[in-house]
Amino acid sequence: MTTDVNDVNDVQQEEHRSVSTTTPTRAPHQDVPGGHPPDGGRVGGGLFDPKQLVKSLPDALRKLDPRVMIKSPVMFVVEVGSVLTTCFAVASPSDWFGWAIAVWLWLTVLFANLAEAVAEGRGKAQADTLRKAKTDTVARRLNGSAEERVPGTELRIGDLVVCEAGDIIPGDGDVVEGVASVDESAITGESAPVIRESGGDRSAVTGGTKVLSDRIVIKITTKPGETFIDRMINLVEGAARQKTPNEIALNILLASLTIVFLLAVVTLQPFAIYAGAEQPMIVLLALLVCLIPTTIGALLSAIGIAGMDRLVQRNVLAMSGRAVEAAGDVSTLLLDKTGTITLGNRQAAEFVPVKGVTEAEVADAAQLSSLADETPEGRSIVVLAKQGYGLRERHQGELTDAEWVPFTAQTRMSGVDVTEHGTVRKVRKGATGSVIAWVREQGGTVPDDADRLANGISEAGGTPLLVALEDERGARVLGVIHLKDVVKDGMRERFVELRKMGIKTVMITGDNPLTAKAIADEAGVDDFLAEATPEDKMALIKREQAGGKLVAMTGDGTNDAPALAQADVGVAMNTGTSAAKEAGNMVDLDSNPTKLIEIVEIGKQLLITRGALTTFSIANDVAKYFAIIPAMFAVAYPGLDTLNIMRLHSSQTAILSAIIFNALIIVALVPLALKGVRYRPVSADRMLRRNLGIYGLGGLIAPFIGIKLIDLLISAIPGIG
């Protein structure tokens, strides 16, 4: 086999790109499940794509059912008000004002339902794509040593099924025998196949995916109708969405405010009669709708659905809205070192020569001894020798008289014996003790600084590999190769951002404390847990939770399952075991551990969006008071006219303008509810001040401008002005 240095370099750079990016790379036009483009954009032509609106409109109309509307107390009150206003308008068919109020109240309810229907519609588009992947398959079930063909729907937990190249996997399970390449593009949107094998943390397979090569035996772990795809379909289309604790609490607050304003409006009429300014029921209903927090009441459900949708766009499946919300409140992040903070494979960082030897000599010998080494460490040595020292390209094929010495657990070193011009050169690289012993066996000497250089690299958290050469000058140590875990680009900056958000980062590793501390210092994490066992992880999570903190972590193995279940946000890798996926409350379909940081940011964005729009909605109502109250009582109490600071045209245009603005502002805020308020990694205090400044002040000013403009337009209509 020939290993060209250029090929090795290309492979190494590609491998670096594939593991260091935060999100997976896709083809420019390849969509993730549900038809979302890779940039997280919206389906189709955008939020107000006519096709999407037309599709959502029937759902919005169906949601007018009072049994559905009562789930949102605020909008249920608006619907009841719409029905009563319509009845009063029918009783006075010539009253244009009554009909106008009735129409706009119905539009207010419809716009609220449309916001939720559009959000759900995007989930249904994803569900439709997933249903295409769900096919009725015939399974080859093992019955002893014999096979029997049965429908996939008849499989039960514990059944063993055989799948070979070209077969569709009939149900969720774990590989218990064999190894195969599997196409999971129907689930993840990734065209590249993945390897699934028995006896490791990459044994889980999903029903509906396709085996591309070899033969595997799968043990079924789920019942028909409860497979991973079934759960995904239910979750993304909203059928299984439950309100989160914060959402329930906010609904209770909105319901309480609605009751308070309802009582206020009911008791207002006796005072109006006493003052000689009895109000029509239509006006009182309009006042009630304007006083209650209709804006956030209309958008609350859409905000929650959109939060889960943003995760799906990034190929993360949240098992509940509670998990997304908990991600926004996380204060401690547990991150595996390997594959999350570091690239996952040790890389050659430098060649350190002993006294009397040059770096170029060490690099030349290290490259020569690594040409047959197909490990990531071996390839990185070849790449460093070429890039750092400009060594000429070599490949195994040109070394016709070479005898390659493979690495074994007994010798703990590898190398090559090369015959050049009748002279044999022997090059070895490996563990310090093994190489030193080899040099001494050949009658060579070991420089005093060889041990010192190797120990220095170990103390710095790296792994030393000694390089030795035997030629006509005898056997001798040339120097040390410094292998180190390479921290991914940008990780330190990400941790700085998390620190600004008040989130503590803890690196989990099986390395010794010395190595762990070196990596932790380089990456910039707040703390680390070295030589970690599953019990250590559980104990750490419980300690953090006992201090009132919410904890998030990732995992993929069966031994991670207890910790994933204990964590407030447990993100299981899709490549992991079924036990890990069952224990976590989120599944990353791309199996990218770094995505945990993105999940936390999405959770915080959800909470910020809800808080910002609640602030805007409540501030929004202030201007409506100045529009409606003077219009209602200025005749009885002329002094109230001073509150008519917008100088609205008449009492009827003032009330109608407020109702129209109340409906239109819902439509205007739908994009923000679905897209989310822009997230910035700042402290909670600064975020609160920013949101109060933008959405509090904005919610106070916008209605004054909007209501005045609408009043000018209405008053210009012939027969009204």
SS3 252: helix
Q: Is 414 annotated as a binding residue?
A: yes
Q: Is 429 annotated as a binding residue?
A: yes
DSSP 634-676: TTT-GGGGGG-TT--S-HHHHHHHHHHHHHHHHHHHHHHHHH-
Give ∠ CA 635-640-644 in degrees, rounded to 5.
100
State the alpha helices, DSSP H only, in 275-392.
281-291, 294-313, 321-328, 359-370, 376-389
Q: In what order do the strands lie in the sheet with 342-353?
A: 342-353, 474-487, 463-471, 423-430, 413-420, 403-405
Q: Is 17 annotated as a binding residue?
A: no
Output the six-digit token pair for 562.
Answer: 């207890």
Closest CA to 557 of 256, 207, 305, 204: 204
Instruction: Confirm if 12 and 407 have CB atoms less than 8 A apart.
Output: no
Give ∠ CA 516-387-390 in degrees, rounded to 5.
140
What are residue 654's phi and psi, to 5 degrees? -65, -50
Q: Is 556 annotated as a binding residue?
A: yes
CA distance 133 to 469: 58
Q: Is 407 annotated as a binding residue?
A: yes
| β-sheet bridge partners, residue 36 | 32
Q: Is 409 annotated as a binding residue?
A: yes
Burial of 671 (0-12, 13-18, 19+ CB in 10 A): middle
Output the six-digit token pair for 625.
Answer: 């008071």
Output the six-digit token pair for 700.
Answer: 């106070």
336 as an active site residue: the answer is yes
Q: Is 413 annotated as a binding residue?
A: yes
CA distance 506 to 570: 15
Tell me how many helices (H) and strands (E) the chain has: 24, 22
Q: State the angle between helix axes of 281-291 and 595-633 in degrees (0 to 180), rounded to the nearest 10.
A: 150
Instruction: Confirm if 326 and 606 have CB atoms less than 8 A apart.
Output: no
CA distance 117 to 673: 13
Burial of 608 (0-12, 13-18, 19+ CB in 10 A): buried
Q: Is 560 annotated as a binding residue?
A: yes
Q: Is 412 annotated as a binding residue?
A: yes
HEC letters along 349-368? EEEEECCCCCHHHHHHHHHH
For residue 477, CA distances in Å to 324, 405, 699 come to: 56, 18, 74
The residue from 183, 230, 336, 568 that is catalytic is 336
List residues forming the annotated binding site for ATP. Answer: 373, 377, 407-414, 429
List residues forming the annotated binding site. Answer: 373, 377, 407-414, 429, 556, 560
Which residues are the active-site residues?
A: 336
List residues forming the annotated binding site for Mg(2+). Answer: 556, 560
